[in-house]
A = this chain, B = another copy of it.
């Protein structure tokens, strides 16, 4: 007997279907013989089902979600911004509490996995990492969280950081981070030596924040591609933001994209509101893997964000001029399957035999869901409705 039927679903393309689930897995998607019995049936009321959302870039240790509203304070330089952040976070609730509150929100929107960049440097040591790990443990099995040891203030610029980064990987961060190699640490080669050295030695993945503009940024992208190729790390290296790809002419984009694709370097963009960012379709056409994440959510860096990857998909489309159904589905893929691939999540997606995890929203099809971002969500992980999850 089937354990649970989800009836009256719409598939992403709008066709009506029934989802049959047993042992936490999809055992049939499409039509189910009415004579077949099920222990339980849940009516999805014509909602469209989407695969679980994957937030490919989030900073759980910085957010004030779960804390009080902290008005944004302007800062003229990165150093000033870091000082403001430190001051604001000093009065905030513990990291594990805040991180858990934000995970709860994201989970309610339908996020099932995240890549979380956590500040690791000589001033905070592994404190943020331990706080986020505590929150991660609370959510284990419901939201899968991959950790990045992130040197927010640079590595060479903040002596002692290198050792903490290495320690963070040894303690379970799966990804070694980096940031603006030539702008922040000046000596880009030395910065990348450390990042790729740890990756090579510890078997870690790489995810580097790159805000450097124009041709400076392109230069870093090419360096990162070089290192990736040299160490055989293709498919395990991400550059987050890569604003430079939004600044340069199309020929330079195409040349750089070909190099990134050949090396297996992926790009993460959150589609920022007031800055040029990578031309998504152009990169994808060149074979570059591109995915998305929410990035900062209501923290010292900016006040926006609510943790919803469906809203993020809409913003990606809104900022990229995605109007056709095909383009809307590209934005959705960046918030779902393309993120899952970047994070190495297997057993993902709406398919028979896969983990029965999906989000149901009130829309006629998946493209419409991206354009409209319906507020209400039914979230199902391994066959169980979210309200039945033990954490709630």
Contacts and interface: CB of A to CB of B under 8 A. Distances in A.
B69 A319 contact: no
Contact of A69 (B69, B321, B367, B375): B367
Contacts of A320: 273-274
A100 to B, nearest CB: 18
Contacts of A69: 14, 363-365, 367-368
B317 A304 contact: yes
Contacts of A168: none
B372 A319 contact: no
A325 B72 contact: yes
Contacts of A159: none
Contacts of A273: 315, 317-321
A371 interface: yes
A367 B69 CA distance: 9
> How many interface residues does chain A have, given as a range?
35 or more
Contacts of A314: 304
A141 interface: no
User: At the interface, is chain A mostly helix, strand, loop or mixed?
Assistant: loop
A315 B319 CA distance: 10
A334 to B, nearest CB: 15
Interface in A253-308: 273-274, 298, 302-306
Nearest to A368: B69
A332 to B, nearest CB: 13
Nearest to A73: B324
A39 to B, nearest CB: 33
B372 A375 contact: no
A104 to B, nearest CB: 15
Given A303-B328, A306-B373, A321 B274 contact: yes
13 contacts: A68-B364, A69-B364, A69-B365, A69-B367, A72-B323, A73-B324, A273-B315, A274-B320, A298-B371, A298-B372, A302-B323, A304-B317, A375-B375
Q: Sorted from nearest, which 7 A-B pairs have the closest CB atoms?
A: A273-B318, A375-B375, A274-B321, A303-B371, A72-B323, A69-B364, A71-B325
